Amino acid sequence: MSRSPVKNSKFEIRRLQQRPQPLNSKFPIAAALCVLLLTGCGRQTPPADTDQRRIVTLAPALTQMVADLGVLDDVVGVAQHDPIADASLPVLGNFVQVDIERLLSVQPTLVMIMSGKEGVPPRLRELADAGRFQLEDYPTPTCIEDVLDTLHSMGAVLDCQRQADDLARHLNDQLRQVRVDVAPLQQPRVLMVIALHPIMASGPGTVNDSLLQQAGGINAAENATVPAPTFDREALLALQPDVILLMLPGAPPLTDHDDRLREFADVPVPAVRDGRIVLLNDPLIALPGTSLVATVRRIADAIHPKLTYEFQEDHE
């Protein structure tokens, strides 16, 4: 196979076994929230047979929001592939298939889920209706606004409305600054690849599409009729992307002869010709949560050579 030009991401993960801290990009959000999180969120009155609130989060993005609202210590169970929660917490399945027996064993008082088109698993709904726990169902986000709406709603549920509102306001301020930074720059056509072999990308009506717009890029898959279209060589040729972003959380660094790049080899599109295939492999890169500002900045930094955002190396 002929050599494909590759630009290695500057965001390579050095020790994947370490859990990243939420909101890990080097911008002043942590300082802005510090005072809020010292007090934490208010506690709801738990059921009579428990002495504290016990939260189950069945989506990593919800865990991240709970963490950034200062109540991560109340989480007693999580879903699969959660990069925020402590590795010792019980894994209870995912939003499609929940291990009900194990869920009940952790005695939750509050279960939070992001349901997709399938809706909440019926057994979970039955248990909530029977008073076993409070159930909060949030829609799977399709844009930045959906993420912020979920954050606002969680503020009410967790008795953290002030903290949630302040956090949402700060996130909006940071997004506004990115838009100012990229406004004078040319908008490249960007293909956001979320899986390989075959190539699958983020289409319109997705959080990634919303993040790319904030970062000053044009989605090369903007005319797709589904949220996650796949592309063969001919379809990729028709897109003519200027930049190809490989948004693969935790993926190892790219090499010139990397097998993951075989579908891009010898495809005469600007991204391949100019060596602008960029790996974004931070563990939170695909998370539709409060790390969205860090993701926007990473995308902007990758697609605009004139930008030089700095990011903290949290995995050393």
Reported confidence tier of residue 257, pLDDT bands at 50, 70, 90: confident
Asked if residue 247 has pLDDT above 90, the reply is yes
Asked if residue 290 has pLDDT above 70, the reply is yes
Asked if residue 240 has pLDDT above 60, the reply is yes
**Rounded CA separation 254/21 (Å):** 25
Mean pLDDT of 286-299: 95
Q: What is the pLDDT of residue 312?
A: 53
Reported confidence tier of residue 51, pLDDT bands at 50, 70, 90: low
Asked if residue 47 has pLDDT above 70, the reply is no
**Rounded CA separation 278/7 (Å):** 5
Distance of CA 142 to CAs 57, 102, 148, 185, 219, Å? 19, 30, 11, 26, 15
Q: Dihedral sign, CA of 286, 148, 295, 167?
A: negative
CA atoms within 13 A on the CB side of 276: 22
Q: What is the pLDDT of residue 119?
A: 86
Reported confidence tier of residue 40, pLDDT bands at 50, 70, 90: low
What amino acid occupies position 38?
A: L
Q: Which residues pair with 247 in a beta bridge?
A: 280
Reported confidence tier of residue 48, pLDDT bands at 50, 70, 90: very low
**Rounded CA separation 9/259 (Å):** 17
Mean pLDDT of 247-260: 90
Q: Which residue has the higher pLDDT, 16 or 175?
A: 175
Q: Cβ(249)–Cβ(283) under 8 Å?
A: yes
User: pTM of the entire structure?
Assistant: 0.82
Reported confidence tier of residue 21, pLDDT bands at 50, 70, 90: very low
Q: What is the pLDDT of residue 31?
A: 41
Domains in the chain and their CATH numbers? 41-159 (3.40.50.1980), 186-303 (3.40.50.1980)
